[in-house]
Structure 1
Amino acid sequence: MSTDNDNILFGNGDELPSNRSGNTHIQDVINLGRRQVLAGGASLGALAFLGATLPGAVQAAGQSAERLKDFPLKRRNRLPFSAVPVTRHDGISVPPGYTATTFIPWGTPISGRYPAYLEDASNSAEDQAHQTGMHHDGMHFFPINAKYGGHQSDHGLLVVNHEYIDAPLLHPNGPTVVDGKRTVVDEVRKEINAHGVSVVEIRRGVRGDWSVLPSARNRRITGATPMRIEGPAKGHALLRTRYSPSGTSTRGTLNNCANGFTPWGTYLTCEENWAGYFASQDSELPRELSRYGVRDTSRYAWETIAGDEFQRFDATRRGTDTQSDYRNEPNTFGWIVEIDPFDPDAMPVKRTALGRFAHEGLVFAPVKPGRPLVCYSGDDSQNEYIYKYVSRDRYRPLRSDGRLLDAGTLYVARFNADGSGDWLALDIDDPAFQQACAAAGVSFADQGEVLINTRLAADIAGATRMDRPEWGAVHPDNGDVYFTLTNNSARSEADAANPRAPNPYGHIIRWSEESRDYAGTRFRWNIYLMAGPQGDSRTPKGRTLDDSNILASPDGLWFDDEGRLWIQTDMSGSQLKSGPFGNNQMLVSDPRTGETKRFLVGPLGAEVTGITATPDFRTLFVNIQHPGEGSTPGNYSSSWPDGPGLRPRSATVIISRKDGKRLM
């Protein structure tokens, strides 16, 4: 999620930057690399770090480039559609021959007594607990027979994240606030219930239309749902609260941005900008709060209303020990949560071995029996890091489960100027990490404390500060990893190779692991695409972007089964309201040829985010988040999807071809 808003009452902004380390910034690495290239030949320097396929030392990710050369070039057009033009139309624009249908918007009844959505937003908190939440984000389609290895495409579970809320639109006349405090209990409960995840059983009819089934599998996981804590931090003293003196459980998941899914058929939801939900009045904050940006005010002021269910958002030390207050409640957030979508009674689990930070999503390297499980996650904040997890145990089909995510090594990335990279272990038993801690004068009691303080551990290890790492995607053919770096307004220095200071447009980076099992500690990297307007951008082949593909603030990222890269954008503020880019969009890029085209443009004020498809690739699901962002009751800047005069609603869009064939 990108926005220009600060983290203020009822704001929907990202957390403020909190990385004060002196670690190398990715732009410094790129700049240094270019200077080295220029020393060897100025004619090659302009392209070397923009993803062009260049020989020898000047290719930033030589191994990756060689793999791309090996792709068999098929004669058929891999992007067989006409590029959608830039537009500020308040609707969904797709190429000719395709249809886009709105599906399960915020407030769709899915469980309980199936309470209907009321257009004046007067639904109660209890209603909201049985309706799809607000602001759809990452999602995944599970074939109904997925647990048995099936690939059924006309019946399955659609699992959807709900990142945050627009409080002014959630209530008929906005939230009730008196002297900065909340006073209406049902309003706050409704806001908590509008967060989280929706599990919806759906079916495609013979005419291609999709419908929600009344099913016992349908359920809402909200900001109040009980959850277990597993992994190295389970039971840690820093996770003990009045609710869970043992430090083994918590309530709810919040700010669920992107997602992942496991080889054993479970869903992973990722807690991103969670720090703003908490407040502390303590004059000095412990490092596990200050390094994550907890402040003296919270985003929605939930902590200002009476009752234990709300006071848990107050992280002030009010008692004599951790069992008498909620000083540690923020430490139970910032994790990746595993959900079994097929078992409505299964308690979600927070997997602490994957680290605690502003998780954007989680993507897996190719999974092979008998080898460790490897996955990647970005910390979506300015100047934060990219991480990799390698399981201790090996993957066993039909036998492995979530315990593979509880024991392993978490690494953080260092990008070197010569196009190489290192994975630095955040392991209390690793000699290099011990040495780094000693040099920094920082100590950790155990591995649980390292993971609770993942950002600090990464600072100490010497990771490379990145321009807001967001979604990742792994190429299905060669295993190369792609990550979006959305933008970075905090960067102040630039040179000829990176003339953006700050960087408002973002780019896409990729790397190739040197080890065949992806579990090693070395990789090769380059930049795949530089976003921006014509004249200040680069395609994968080193040319400038044009009318068919200019973009800014790349965010969502996904590969289809034929290796096409789908890119979604999250522009905000002035970048969205004026300039050459129009509304947020979704593009398709072919790494084989470098061809990139705009496939979809969303409605006014909306982010295009979240993407998944049926196995037969006849149906594509895409989420449209916060249309008319910033709207207030009676003053709507978008009328999507319900029409003029009605409050805008986040929703899923179903995209298919009019002839019913595969999308491409």
Structure 2
Amino acid sequence: MASEDLALDRRGFLQAGVAATVALMGVGCAVPGRNDPVLMGFGAVPPTLHDGITLPPEYRAQVLYPWGTPTGIAGAMPAFAPDASNSAADQAVQAGMHHDGMHFFPLGNDGTRGLLVMNHEYTDERLLHTNGVERWTAEKVRKSLHAMGVSVIEIERTADGWRQVLPSPYARRIHGATPMRIAGPAAGSPWLRTAADPAGTQVLGTFANCAMGVTPWGTYLSCEENFHGYFGGPADAAARMTTAQRRYGTVPGAQWVEYWRFDERFDLSKQPNEAHRFGWVVEIDPFDPGSTPVKRTALGRKRQESATCTLTKDGRVAVYMGDDAAFEYIYKFVSREKVRPGQDAAARAANRTLLDDGTLHVVRFDADGRGRWLELVHGRGGLDAAHGFAGPDEVLLHARLAADVVGGTKMDRPEWIAVHPRTGEVYVTLTNNSQRGTAGKPATDAANPRGPNLFGGILRWREDGGDAASNGFAWDHFVQAGDPALPDIGARYPRADDDAFGSPDGLHFDSGGLLWIQTDMSGQAIGTGAHAALGNNQLLCADPASGRIRRFLVGPNGCEITGCVVTPDRRTLFVNVQHPGERRDDGTGALNSAWPDGTLPASTRPRSATVVVQRRDGGIIGT
């Protein structure tokens, strides 16, 4: 593309965003000069290292669902034991650890009841057990598996705020030992067959559940991310691992936990195929507690981050996905069949196989501001037996290797993806990549221009013709994060007065078009070195058209802020506080948070929790 054409293309990209904002003002966004509250007019929130929730003065926060809270299953509601003495059976019906991606599904039309569905990403074994990581046992393995997965809880709004409905017919805990089905092109593949499941179509559990998505027909998509850390084996077996196993990190001796010593399915030297049954998108019907979750293999296997759905112009579904690791890829799946409209039980039944048939793509960002979606289809683009792909199942099982062959762009940890509800612009967080541009690692490129990239940023694109089925698009950088006082880092904000942040992770568009950005600086980086001025992890509110970015919430010490979702009426925001008290690398192993139950110095075990945020006057969130 000629430089003049490129300038016009980018100008059109930005002008379209401005036009969309004008349109939004006519459909509910506040407009200065009217009687409505001012958009993003909330009070200032400074960066802070306070061990608590910091909000604008006109807002309030309520802790709703901390780790260990009973899920609400009738007859199975053991209370949380502060000394971690709850059994594995208790944990199976309690809130899991490390809350992450989340969605609110309304029940009825008045906005006062709904289902809150959330992921539980991983475990901190030092907090989960009374004796921490000392002396692993089979019971510890079971409890750890039960502390991950997904919670489905029913909540209702009262005069005093939101509360959990106990018991609830919808309440459910899905975890690392829940029976599931494997569907799609890779179901039954020899790579998925094990001694316990010779057909390769059934699997026990889901874990490492990070980001999520919601289908147009009203089901929940949970993403299995860092599953590799739970598979292990004797270190001397590492030499026998394949290239694909190494690429996915499933190598004996590199495990985070010692499951393999007590459960053979996690021993890579004995059950090498079990790990192939993880790293998928899992579809869950939150309205039917008796339904079986399904792993959708057509969407590809990776360290799955995000499964963001949107409709194509002809009524099919497109699913955008990231692979959260340095130098990995962004993917898009487009279904073959059209979506049957609706979100009731009949619609969910009619669309039950829609995600099993379609085309997976990987992205390539070109230096001229254009990009392409490259098909990952067996027999095309070098994806054949000569390059190690004997069939379609192997392309999906080893999506990372397939993306290498067709020439996707290696990214700086692509995580959450969000689609603007009016313009269709797609935004993706690139959290960071300290390896970019270092010795022996890939150099910088147009889409990943900083190396090392300590702070990450947000990249966006507009599909050609505004159609998610398009193979081409225009792209630019929405923001390159960091501390503007450190010019050598290269931070670039749309406006000089935007609030600074680092390591964007979660993204959520509310129905009014505001973009909510959640951050995940590591516990070791918070408050130190180049991150010293940024405070704890935070939730920011952005107006995509103007680029204005304002800090809205700061979390307690050591936490990640994640899982933000705003109710359809925009009067309640739910957000997750994950792993408060994450240990710093200071040699002491000391917790630096007692949130939400205690005070520092740490007087109790910190707990991940869901927080409810509302305006004190009941007004619209973000004003």
Distance 2:68 2:355 in 1: 33
Displacement of 1:186 after TM fit? 1.4
Task: State whether residues 366 and 479 of structure 1, in contact with CA within 8 Å, keep that contact through their aligned partners in structure 2.
Answer: no
1:253 aligns with 206
Unaligned runs of at least 5 residues, structure 1: 1-35, 41-54, 146-150, 319-325
Task: State whether residues 169 and 633 of structure 1, in contact with CA within 8 Å, keep that contact through their aligned partners in structure 2.
Answer: no
Distance 2:580 2:154 in 1: 25
- Which residue of the other structure, out of 248, 259, 262, is the alignment partner of 1:302? 259
Name the SS of the counterpart of 1:643 in structure 2. coil
Name the SS of the counterpart of 2:239 in structure 1. coil
Task: State whether residues 61 and 512 of structure 1, in contact with CA within 8 Å, keep that contact through their aligned partners in structure 2.
Answer: no
Displacement of 1:276 after TM fit? 1.3
Name the SS of the counterpart of 2:327 in structure 1. coil
1:168 aligns with 126
Matched, 1:621 2:578: no
State percent identity of aligned pairs.
50
- Which residue of the other structure, out of 23, 33, 54, is the alignment partner of 1:93? 54
Distance 1:626 1:229 in 2: 31
- Which residue of the other structure, out of 273, 282, 293, is the alignment partner of 1:328? 273
Distance 2:15 2:403 in 1: 31
Matched, 1:365 2:310: yes
1:386 aligns with 330
Q: TM-score, normalising length from structure 1?
A: 0.84
- Which residue of the other structure, out of 422, 436, 448, is the alignment partner of 1:491? 436
Displacement of 1:375 after TM fit? 1.4
Q: Report matched runs for 1:191-270 at 5 Å.
A: 191-270=144-223
Task: State whether residues 227 and 251 of structure 1, in contact with CA within 8 Å, keep that contact through their aligned partners in structure 2.
Answer: yes
Instruction: Work out which structure has the larger RCO, using CA pairs closer than 8 Å and 6 or more positions apart in sequence.
Output: 1
Name the SS of the counterpart of 2:283 in structure 1. strand
Q: CA RMSD in A?
A: 2.2
Task: State whether residues 170 and 191 of structure 1, in contact with CA within 8 Å, keep that contact through their aligned partners in structure 2.
Answer: yes
Name the SS of the counterpart of 2:412 in structure 1. coil
Deviation per residue, 1:467-507 (Å, 9 max, x gap)? 00000100011101000000001112678998843110101
Distance 1:466 1:238 in 2: 28
- Which residue of the other structure, out of 67, 82, 104, is the alignment partner of 2:16? 67
Matched, 1:276 2:229: yes
- Which residue of the other structure, out of 396, 399, 424, is the alignment partner of 1:451? 396
Deviation per residue, 1:240-279 (Å, 9 max, x gap)? 0012100001111111001001111111100001111112
The size of the alignment, in residue pairs, is 582
Structure 1, 591-600 or 441-450: larger mean CA deviation? 441-450
Distance 1:634 1:282 in 2: 30
Name the SS of the counterpart of 2:248 in structure 1. coil
Structure 1, 444-453 or 98-107: larger mean CA deviation? 444-453
Amino acid at match of 1:648: P
Structure 1, 493-502 or 219-228: larger mean CA deviation? 493-502
- Which residue of the other structure, out of 341, 350, 353, is the alignment partner of 2:295? 350
Q: TM-score, normalising length from structure 2?
A: 0.89
2:28 aligns with none
Displacement of 1:188 after TM fit? 1.4
1:395 aligns with 339
Displacement of 1:291 after TM fit? 1.6
Deviation per residue, 1:568-609 (Å, 9 max, x gap)? 100014431321111000101101221110000000000001
Name the SS of the counterpart of 2:69 in structure 1. coil
Displacement of 1:92 after TM fit? 0.2
Task: State whether residues 62 and 524 of structure 1, in contact with CA within 8 Å, keep that contact through their aligned partners in structure 2.
Answer: no
Matched, 1:419 2:360: no
Distance 1:473 1:587 in 2: 15
Displacement of 1:129 after TM fit? 0.4
Distance 1:272 1:62 in 2: 37
1:107 aligns with 68
Structure 2 vs 1, CA of residues 428 and 347 (structure 1 numbering), >3 Å: closer, same or farther? Answer: same
Distance 1:661 1:311 in 2: 54
Structure 1, 275-284 or 610-619: larger mean CA deviation? 275-284
Task: State whether residues 607 and 626 of structure 1, in contact with CA within 8 Å, keep that contact through their aligned partners in structure 2.
Answer: yes
Displacement of 1:67 after TM fit? 1.4
Distance 2:449 2:379 in 1: 42
Displacement of 1:520 after TM fit? 1.7
Displacement of 1:283 after TM fit? 2.2
Name the SS of the counterpart of 1:288 in structure 2. helix
Matched, 1:661 2:619: yes
Structure 2 vs 1, CA of residues 60 and 176 (structure 1 numbering), >3 Å: closer, same or farther? Answer: farther
Matched, 1:514 2:464: yes
Distance 1:190 1:341 in 2: 23
